[in-house]
Amino acid sequence: MQGNFSYHNPTKLYFGDESLNYLKDELTHFGPVVLLNYGSGSVKRNGIYDQVVAILREAGKTIVENPGVMSNPTLEKLREGVKIACENKVDWILALGGGSVCDYSKAVAASVFYDGDYWDKFWLKQEQPDADQKLLPVGCILTMAGTGSEMNAGTVITDAEHTFKVGHVFDDRLMPKFSILNPKFTMTVPDNQMKAGIYDIINHIMEQYFSDFDDNTSDYLSEGLMRSLITASRIAVKNPQDYEARSNIMWTATWALNTLIGLGKRQDWMVHMIGHSVGAWTHAPHGYALAAVSMAYYRRAMKPGLSKFVRFAQNVWNIDGNGMTDEQIAEAGIEALKNWMLEIGLPLTISEIGATPDMIPGITQGTICYPAGYMNLTPADITEILKESL
């Protein structure tokens, strides 16, 4: 295992179908005024909102509501949340929703007490809050599995005016103080969002796995997580109400992106860079945008990353490889990934999610490029990948 690193993840997790019971105890650690962020209404329809509000009220909290946090939250909505938080002098933030609401809550928490232009400082310049800047604490009640936002400091925000989607990973001061993960809460997630979440999870793992060639414990963990996800996804698409499968998906999502499996790894993240730009142009679910560019991307990465793709084929997809060349084994692994994506109903092209050839220059321009994984792509390469993904 190469590299030097430190590891600290301060998020306390409560997992399982009784995990909401722990909210009451958690509330004793936070102030009286809570900003309750949630999305476009699913939590009201499925009853989770009522359960949470009852617990908050019983604990005597003053609830400041901020509904309407959209999927792929926008800068405009961020500004609105910051204003609400300031005006109501909230003590902390409770995110009730999927990755979008969790990301958004951390973004508001980072921005409320910053006097300057927070968009410019945190997202465009990628700076961290100063050591003496006050930050609001955030807690999450997660309703959808996918992003890992419940146990990381990532915040992805879309500047809709400029069709630009960009993430910022804050330092661990912005990690949720606690997250409640009840797999039953994910049972009402629409079919397409469940599948998008599943692809997001495997892609988070792949983004970390497909870098470096050293023997690293992180890669063994990644392979185990991918195997668990593949098994659970096959069950969940057939029977979305299967608790065991949904609980494994939810737990895998958290471990896929809570920084553990990236330790000692250079990591890649170019599928995400391209996918974010595709998402900004198409408004597709995040995981769909990733799936749609993955085939072209990984076929290109296979050559410079050959031995790792061989390992992926053998350890994740059980490709025997007897009598095959390394290239054939690696290719069979990518083919297995593709077949699984088809089996569970994921898009394989950007046309399927509404991208058109005339968008390609804009998507290319919005893609942040850097040396990553096994490749050092230029904007011209991104254009090629997008054309191959049409």
Task: Return residues touching ligand NZQ (CB under 6 A).
Answer: 39-42, 46, 71-72, 97-101, 103, 143-144, 146-149, 152, 154, 156, 167, 185-186, 188-190, 193, 197, 200, 257, 272, 286
Query: What is d(CA 139, CA 35) in angstroms, rounded to the nearest whole number?
Result: 10
In the sheet with 138-142, reading across from the earlier edge strand, the strands are 12-15, 178-181, 138-142, 92-97, 33-38, 62-66
Q: Which is nearer to ligand NZQ, 273 or 332 (CB)?
A: 273
Whether 134 and 152 have beta carbons less than 8 Å apart is answered as no
* Distance of closest approach, residue 320 Cβ to ligand NZQ, in angstroms: 33
Q: C-beta of 131: minimal distance to Zn ion in Å?
A: 29
The reply on whether position 103 binds Zn ion by CB under 5 A is no
**Beta carbon nearer to ligand NZQ, 88 or 188:** 188
Determine the size of the site formed for Zn ion (CB under 5 A).
1
Contact positions with Zn ion (CB under 5 A) in 207-236: none
How near is the Cβ of 201 to ligand NZQ at its closest, in Å?
10
Smallest gap from residue 272 Cβ to ligand NZQ (A): 6
Quote the least distance from Cβ 203 to Zn ion, whole Å.
Answer: 6
Q: Which CB atom, from 197 or from 330, has the smaller least distance to ligand NZQ?
A: 197
Identify the burial level of 172 via C-beta atoms within 10 angstroms of its C-beta, where 0-12 means exposed, 13-18 middle and 19 or more buried: middle
Neighbours of 346 (CB within 10 A): 23
Q: Which does 148 bind (CB under 5 to 8 A by kind): Zn ion, ligand NZQ, none?
A: ligand NZQ
200 binds Zn ion (CB under 5 A): yes
Gyration radius of the chain over CA positions: 20
Residue 368 CB partners (closer than 8 Å, separation 6+):
166, 273
**Cβ distance to ligand NZQ smaller for residue 121 or 286:** 286
Q: Which residue has the tokens 């969790």?
A: 102
Q: Contacts from 304-307 at CB under 8 Å and sequence distance 24+?
A: 304/374, 304/375, 305/210, 305/373, 305/374, 306/330, 307/213
Write out the residues near Zn ion by the rule CB under 5 A: 200
